[in-house]
Amino acid sequence: MKRGFRDSDIKREVQLHDDRRLDLLISYGFVGPIMLELKLLHNPEITNASKRKDYKDKIKKYLLGTSSEHGFYLVFKVTSVLILLKDIQLII
């Protein structure tokens, strides 16, 4: 393959026609676009059952709005450094 044949692109906070924004849109050569949505574990759209259902519909709209055949929904658990230090002190 020729050099440059597989251009890649990563776009942040992509705005759709309905003014919603998804976190990342990635394309790489013939693969893409791929939609990435990132959430923290304590986000109400994850912890609240009714909001979680609404969020599932929102993700489907993101996929349609970006013409993405693939999407990733990543959930992160982030712990405060202060909490970790307390845990370490309890162990010691």
Q: Confirm if 14 and 63 have CB atoms less than 8 A apart.
A: no
Model confidence at 64: pLDDT above 50: yes
Model confidence at 1: pLDDT above 50: no
Would you kindly state where each structural domain of the chain is located, as residue ranges? 8-91
> Whole-angstrom Cα distance, residue 34 to residue 20?
17
Q: Which amino acid is at 42?
A: H
Q: Please state whether beta strands 70-76 and 31-40 pair in parallel, antiparallel, or not at all (unpaired).
A: parallel
How far from the centroid of its chain's Cα atoms is residue 65's Cα? Answer: 15
Please give the average per-residue pLDDT across 41-68, as a whole number. 86
Q: What is the CB-side half-sphere exposure of residue 85 using CA atoms within 13 A?
A: 3
Q: Please state whether beta strands 70-76 and 8-15 pair in parallel, antiparallel, or not at all (unpaired).
A: unpaired
pTM for this predicted structure? 0.66
